[in-house]
Chain A
Amino acid sequence: SQQGEEDPQALSIQEGENATMNCSYKTSINNLQWYRQNSGRGLVHLILIRSNEREKHSGRLRVTLDTSKKSSSLLITASRAADTASYFCATDAYNRGSTLGRLYFGRGTQLTVWP
């Protein structure tokens, strides 16, 4: 299975602290994405990092990718109560010569940020 696995399963921190979530996957990828899901809602795309990139930033988000270790991390700096959500990594599985893109999701990290 190409499915990513997030670690830890749950993370509880105080507002203002940084939150770090990790993702490991099994096979080669073209890109890796992070999504956020508020309770009972759909997923929202946060950031995409390509296999030839090592680090990417978007606002308070910082994503790293280590293809040699098949792992990625998502750092949320200066967390807020509104960051409370589940965070999922998703890897792709592009076939050679095909534009098909299917994503494989991990089980997610449940982040709770206390005021």
Chain B
Amino acid sequence: DGGITQSPKYLFRKEGQNVTLSCEQNLNHDAMYWYRQDPGQGLRLIYYSQIVNDFQKGDIAEGYSVSREKKESFPLTVTSAQKNPTAFYLCASSILGDGLLHFGNGTRLTVT
């Protein structure tokens, strides 16, 4: 079955450590996105990518980095520079220009 896989489901890290969240899709979608969700908040866009080896900052990119070396993969690194990293992170993909997002089941990151 086609879909988006995020791993791990839960992630715990100590403050000051970088951590990488995985996102893989087999939908053959060109566009991929990372969103952050905090309790009681809407989703906020961190980074997005339309094609391999290209990506753009979203609304809250500070403290995060991404790469897009393969069409299927769009990993997100939460760096130690991110001041409040504890959140639920959602990866999504879409057909370019379609605007209809397909989401993974998220990674809940807790930093203590």
A99 → B minimal CB distance (Å): 4
Q: Are B103 and A106 in contact (CB under 8 A)?
A: no
B101 contacts chain A at the CB level, 8 A cutoff:
yes
When the two chains form the complex, which single residue of A42, A102, A107 contacts B40, counting CB atoms closer than 8 Å? A107
When the two chains form the complex, which single residue of B41, B50, B100, B103 contacts A42, counting CB atoms closer than 8 Å? B103
When the two chains form the complex, which single residue of A4, A88, A101 contacts B98, counting CB atoms closer than 8 Å? A101
- Could you tell me the distance between the alpha carbons of A92 and B101 in the complex, rounded to whole angstroms? 11
Q: Could you give, for residues 18-59 of chain B, a 1 whenever the CB lies within 8 Å of some chain A CB and a 0 otherwise?
A: 000000000000010001000011111100101000000010
Interface size on A, residues (CB 8 A): 27
Q: Are B97 and A101 in contact (CB under 8 A)?
A: yes
- Could you tell me the distance between the alpha carbons of A40 and B96 in the complex, rounded to whole angstroms? 27
A44: B residues at CB distance < 8 A? 103
Residue of B nearest to A5 (CB): B42
B39 → A minimal CB distance (Å): 10
Tally inter-chain residue pairs, CB-CB below 8 A.
Answer: 61
Q: Which of A62-115 contact B (CB under 8 A)?
A: 88, 90, 92, 94, 99-108
- Could you tell me the distance between the alpha carbons of A103 and B100 in the complex, rounded to whole angstroms? 9
When the two chains form the complex, which single residue of B35, B41, B50 contacts A107, counting CB atoms closer than 8 Å? B41
Residue of B nearest to A6 (CB): B42
Instruction: List, sorted by A's number, 28 A–B pairs whose CB atoms are closer than 8 Å.
Output: A3-B42, A4-B42, A30-B99, A40-B106, A40-B108, A41-B105, A41-B106, A42-B4, A42-B6, A42-B90, A42-B105, A42-B106, A43-B43, A43-B92, A43-B101, A45-B101, A48-B100, A88-B42, A88-B43, A94-B99, A99-B97, A100-B97, A102-B45, A103-B101, A104-B42, A105-B35, A106-B42, A107-B41
Binding site for B on A (CB under 8 A): 3-4, 30-31, 33, 35, 40-45, 48, 88, 90, 92, 94, 99-108
